[in-house]
Amino acid sequence: MAGWRRWAGLALAWTLLLAPPVLAQRNLPAQPGEQRVALVIGNAAYERGPLRNPVNDARAISERLQALGFTVIRRENMKAKEVGSALREFRSLLNAGATALFFYSGHGLQVRGVNYLPTVDADIDAEEDVYLQSLDVSKVLELMDEAKTRVNLVFLDACRDNPFARKFRSASRGLARLDAPSGTLISFATRPGSVASDGEGRNGLYTEHLLKHMEQPGLPIEQVLKRVGAAVKLASRGRQEPWTEGLIEGEFYFRAGTAPAASATAPAVDSSAVELSFWDSIKTSTNPNDFKAYLDQYPDGRFAALARNRLAPPAASAAPAVTTQIAAAVPSSSGLPRRTLKVQSTWPSSLTFQDHLRFVAQEIEKATGGEVKLEVFAINQYVPGAFEVFDATAKGVLDGFHAWPGYWSGKNKAAVLFGGAPGGPFGLQDTDLFSWLWDAGGQELWQELYQQQIKAPLVPLPAHPMKGVTFGWFKRPINNLADFKRMKCHQTGTTAEVFQRMGMKPVQMPGGEIIPAAQRGVIDCVTWAGGVEDLRLGLHSLWKYHYQPGIDSNSWMGEFTLSANIWNALGPAHQRTVRAVLRDAYGTWGRKFQQAQAEAMREMEEKHGVLMLWTPPSILIGAMQAWDAIASEESARNPFFARVYEVQREFARKHVASRTLTGAATYLARYYWRKKE
């Protein structure tokens, strides 16, 4: 995000958000009849990497919450053996309709996108140590969900740089974004993947400002978090930026009453401090617009000469290499600015999907003569987690991402319709979906979803197909729907909802945990990607019953999405080039992928003894009936979903229905190569 956007409002934030209230703060209790329960943990006395303030944070937050009507369970310097008792006590006090709050201060780390809070006696040298010596944040969310609480609030001052995340490769810096359940607000002390300050006083920087603003009467929780965020960002000069996920229905106030107005006698803003904060936030930037914004606001400022030097064209003798966005100030041979775009995928670097992104990057650079380059990152390499890339690109942290649209169905379920919903939908194949997106108005609807429905300034483009998503790997044979219902299966997204509607319990976990979970008997079956990706993951070593087709296999489609600002800045010529590269890559890379899929399937069958079986028709029909019911319900409550779904139905009526009469390819393939039912 440009420096002027980050800092233009700091003077106003200092005056309005941080000024003391005019009204006296009264010690009001919780609203009548409202049950408030909090679990507060402060871990400081670590054997590795002790901290100064977390216990102080826990005590101060506990006292403040008790004054605000909460029943508080407090744990200080919690050890591994105490985790279970703390969670049990917390759960025992939660009733349906209550307000549940979890606050944690101490070290935190993420492993494969899952957040863990180490106990003070943790001795972590390998990934396996984390699970037994830490509190899994998702377990806290599960307790809240089980209790059917009305409002869930989670505060994680747990992003301090710590010794555990450096011990093994699968641990990442900071915390990962959490997919907040309905009715839940999650507040991070800093953005996912970043580090928070332990504070110079008695409390961590985030906790210090949380304590200050949660006291203010008549202030909704969302406003509390906005004020905390502005205060922390200002105090840290932009180095720490709190992050919030989720939403709640209705209003929640820590303290009821009338919201305070800004004081007419608020202290004067230190303009020199604001200018210094602005300069500190951009001085290492490679974006010339940041320095232009500084000069617009401070034409005679202390750093004006330096800013003008950064904008001056480089001396001819210097001939610097053009590798970053500062090169946007240097015209290319076409007259368009040179750009290097940071694009992160949702895939590990070893997957073939990451190969597609690399291929696209190479082709764009060649086609533009080096005027547009992509700096490509795999999952966790720039921002943490698979699902961070959407918001990171919308906020300008990334320039683009490479993913699957169905990942964003939690933001709006219509997203899955652009990536291949169960059954197509309506029998659409990937070539049909590709045609609909590029040539029949689908891409415009997709852009409307992101920009108008989700309110994210993004431009999505169709990217990579994936043929051959199988139904899955099974511990034992399945002959009918009754066999299927008795099994626990790894599945995600909309298909997990379909499976649940069919009577089985889907289990969601990161890909790296699938094989250990299967070996422990946690799951009986798994759906991954099929073919070469399954072989690379090692699923053939678990079970030998491999069923296909799956309900997702018809029309799976990936996306290459850029920030709208970046897309517009590319200009029409480079926009046409990007579209042309993606269209070509669909065929060029798609053919290579399909060949790799076929070779992997043959290797699994011939070398590893995998039984390739047809999915029983009763299960496929049951799955499609479940999806039809889900789609009907979503259409009734989501007008945009209904509109896209009907547009796809009409497209399929023209392009798919005729294949019931002319589908010779499928008929002949099954005649010659049909596997055992």
Q: What is the pLDDT of residue 640?
A: 96
Give the CA-trace dihedral at 394, 395, 396, 402, to 10 degrees: -40
As given in the structure block, the two tokens for residue 427 are: 């029998």
Q: Is the pLDDT of residue 324 over 70?
A: no
Question: What residue ranges define each of the domains in the chain, with the CATH number in brackets?
Answer: 34-247 (3.40.50.1460), 339-466+557-593 (3.40.190.170)
Beta strands in 65-138 (DSSP E): 71-76, 99-107, 109-111, 114-118, 134-136
For residues 303 and 279, the answer to whether their CB atoms sit within 8 Å is: yes
Q: What is the pLDDT of residue 14?
A: 34
Distance CA 71, CA 69 (A): 7
pLDDT (tens digit per residue) in 490-537: 877 778 888 888 888 787 665 656 787 788 888 888 987 788 878 877
Q: Is the pLDDT of residue 318 over 60?
A: no
- Looking at the chain, the whole-number percentage of residues with pLDDT higher than 70 is 75
pLDDT (tens digit per residue) in 101-146: 999 999 988 877 788 899 998 888 777 778 788 998 988 998 898 8
260-275 per-residue burial string, b: 16 or more CB within 10 A, e: under 16: beeeeeeeeeeeeebb
What's the whole-number mean pLDDT along residues 432-456?
92
Q: What is the pLDDT of residue 29?
A: 40
At 362, the pLDDT band (50, 70, 90 cuts) reads very high
With both helix axes pointing from N to C terminus, report the angle between 221-235 and 205-214 in degrees, rounded to the nearest 10. Answer: 140
Q: What is the pLDDT of residue 239?
A: 73
Q: Is the pLDDT of residue 95 over 60?
A: yes
What's the whole-number mean pLDDT along residues 345-351?
82
What's the whole-number mean pLDDT along residues 56-82?
94
As given in the structure block, the two tokens for residue 171 are: 């641990």
Q: What is the pLDDT of residue 269?
A: 37
Q: What is the pLDDT of residue 63?
A: 94
Q: Is the pLDDT of residue 275 over 70?
A: no
Beta strands in 598-656 (DSSP E): 611-614
Distance CA 162, CA 173 (A): 8
Q: Is the pLDDT of residue 21 over 70?
A: no
For residues 287 and 2, the answer to whether their CB atoms sit within 8 Å is: yes
Q: What is the pLDDT of residue 658?
A: 67
Question: Which secondary-structure segment (H or E) carries 171?
Answer: strand 171-172
As given in the structure block, the two tokens for residue 620 are: 């496929």
Q: What is the pLDDT of residue 370?
A: 92
Q: What is the pLDDT of residue 170?
A: 39
Strand order in the sheet with 36-42: 71-76, 36-42, 99-107, 151-160, 184-188, 243-247
For residues 37 and 93, the answer to whether their CB atoms sit within 8 Å is: yes
Q: To the nearest whole number, what is the mean pLDDT of the chain?
A: 78
For residues 95 and 61, the answer to whether their CB atoms sit within 8 Å is: no
Q: Is the pLDDT of residue 314 over 60?
A: no
> Cα–Cα–Cα angle for 653, 654, 660, nearest 5°?
70
Q: Is the pLDDT of residue 287 over 70?
A: no
Q: What is the pLDDT of residue 261?
A: 43
Question: Which secondary-structure segment (H or E) carries 563?
Answer: strand 557-563
Q: What is the pLDDT of residue 23?
A: 29
